[in-house]
Copies of this chain bind each other. A is one copy, B any other.
Amino acid sequence: MVKVQQDDNTQEKILEAARAVFLEKGMDGARMQDIADRAGINKALLHYYFRNKEKLFETVFLEAASRFFPRMVNILTADTSLFEKITRFVHHYISMMAENPYIPLFVLNEVQKQPKTFLAKVFGNRRPPIEELAKQVKKEVAQGIIKPIDPRQLMINMVSLCIFPFVAKPVVQWVLKMDEKAYSAFIEARKTEVATFIIDSIRK
């Protein structure tokens, strides 16, 4: 059926446009008219597909989040060495941010505006499996494999190094005078740069 295909096309066009507009403007700044325009349709059809702005956003966001979390949980709970774990974590985290660059800033905003509600919606009951990594760090510190470090600080460092260049993309581009291509290359390079940066820091 060609119709169904058309249907999917339009829906995907809308989601793509929504991603772009939400990225640029945030939830408050995003205009339904903008999204419709960018999707090449009109407002009526936009509301025909998604009842309202909130639903549209939820669809866009949960779609990305549902791809994100399972992979990170896998990496963190896998039976691998600490250095291997850090390397894989950084690579995958940066890759996923690069694929969904609109997410992190949005999350930070929503979580700022309504911490409880939002965190509940995203994580539900489950928390990120940080205990695994913490234990592993403590163990390797005790064994003298790595330098002493607070596992919590290490974890925040890892996430900071992965996420920040995305939420600060325009500033990074401006300060370092990068066009899109240079920025992409810079991010690509970070996948290994950040991993070695972290490992070099804690290795004895």
The residues of A with any CB-CB pair to B shorter than 8 Å are: 23-26, 28-29, 105, 107-109, 111-113, 115, 119, 127-128, 130, 147, 149-150, 152-153, 156-157, 159-161, 163-165, 167-172, 174-176, 186, 189-190, 193-194, 197-198, 200-202
Q: Give the residue name and chain of the B residue nearest to A201 (CB).
A: B201
Q: Are B111 and A170 in contact (CB under 8 A)?
A: yes
Rounded to whole Å, the gap between the CB of A31 and the closest CB of chain B is 10
Instruction: List 14 contacting pairs A-B, 8 Å CB cutoff, sorted by A.
Output: A25-B28, A26-B26, A26-B112, A28-B28, A105-B109, A109-B109, A127-B174, A130-B176, A149-B197, A152-B176, A153-B190, A153-B197, A160-B160, A200-B201
Residues of B within 8 A of A175 (CB): 127-128, 130
Cα separation A50 to B60 with both chains bound (whole Å): 38
- Which residue of B24, B164, B200 contacts A164 across the interface (Cβ within 8 Å)? B164
Q: Are A172 and B156 in contact (CB under 8 A)?
A: yes
Residues of B within 8 A of A193 (CB): 149-150, 153
Rounded to whole Å, the gap between the CB of A187 and the closest CB of chain B is 10
Residues of B within 8 A of A165 (CB): 156, 160
Q: Are A197 and B157 in contact (CB under 8 A)?
A: yes
Residues of B within 8 A of A25 (CB): 28, 113
Residues of B within 8 A of A176 (CB): 130, 152, 156
Cα separation A175 to B186 with both chains bound (whole Å): 29
Residues of B within 8 A of A112 (CB): 23-24, 26, 105, 169-170
Cα separation A28 to B201 with both chains bound (whole Å): 40
Residues of B within 8 A of A147 (CB): 200
Q: Are B119 and A174 in contact (CB under 8 A)?
A: yes
Q: Are A108 and B168 in contact (CB under 8 A)?
A: yes
